[in-house]
Amino acid sequence: MNIKGKPLSLIIPEDKIRTRVKELAKEIEGDMGGPFIVVSLLKGSFVFTADLIREFSVPVKVDFMWVSSYGSSQESSGGVRVIQDLIIDVQGEKVLLVDDILDTGYTLREVVELLKRKNPSVLKVCVFLDKPQRRKVDIKADYVGFEVPNKFLVGYGLDWDEEGRNLRGIYAVD
């Protein structure tokens, strides 16, 4: 498989993802102890969010936030611009923030601050992938699907210049 002529190597196959998503959902649901609101960050986390929410057996509401980080496309530098804010009011509600990948941490740190200002009663963070080696700010996710090496990854919602989101596994661009 390749994108824009560059070969892709499989890092996480589809069946491993499916198993891990089920495990994560069980753990999250147990901790939340009742209904909650899933806040999914566009665009990268839409595939993960779609799979995750269908594993929950408590009632969940789903909303989306779309932010863009300042800096180059492959490295954020702190500060985000809100392109699309939440529609659901999360004040006093339990919230699970879902993102595709925790890299430097700048994006998530900013979004967590934005969400805290909306006064949810609980705010937990779930990321599908974590690149701990790349961290620049002190932030940890409460739930992590997989720790991954410091490579540029695509698939399962993650893109390279808008391509590759539809791949069923996670691939590294070689």
Give the footprint of ligand 5GP on this chain (CB under 6 A). Answer: 44, 69, 76, 99-108, 152-154, 158-160
Query: Please, what is the angle between helix 46-53 and helix 14-32, to 10°?
Result: 60
Partners of 10 in the β-ladder: 171
DSSP 3-state of 12: strand
Q: How far is the CB of 67 from Mg ion (least distance, A)?
A: 8
Nearer residue to ligand 5GP within complex by CB, 33 or 79: 79
Q: Is 44 in the site for Mg ion (CB under 5 A)?
A: yes
Q: How far is the CB of 144 from Mg ion (least distance, A)?
A: 15
Q: Is 105 in the site for Mg ion (CB under 5 A)?
A: no
**Would residue 103 show up in a list of annotated catalytic residues for this protein?**
yes
In DSSP notation, 25-76 reads HHHHHHHH-S-EEEEEEETTTHHHHHHHHTT--S-EEEEEEEEEEEE-SS-E
Q: Is 157 in the site for Mg ion (CB under 5 A)?
A: no
Q: How far is the CB of 174 from ligand 5GP (least distance, A)?
A: 13
Q: How far is the CB of 108 from ligand 5GP (least distance, A)?
A: 6
Q: Is 164 in the site for Mg ion (CB under 5 A)?
A: no
Catalytic residue among 89, 103, 138, 159: 103
Here the tokens at position 106 are 């700048």
Nearer residue to ligand 5GP within complex by CB, 73 or 121: 73
State the residue for tokens 């863009």: 68
Nearer residue to ligand 5GP within complex by CB, 25 or 108: 108
Residues 70-84: b if buried by 16+ CB within 10 A, e if exposed: eeeeeebeeebeeee
Cα gap 172→162, rounded to integer Å: 15
Nearer residue to Mg ion within complex by CB, 22 or 134: 134
Q: Which residues are catalytic?
A: 103
User: Which residues make up the interface to Mg ion (CB under 5 A)?
Assistant: 44
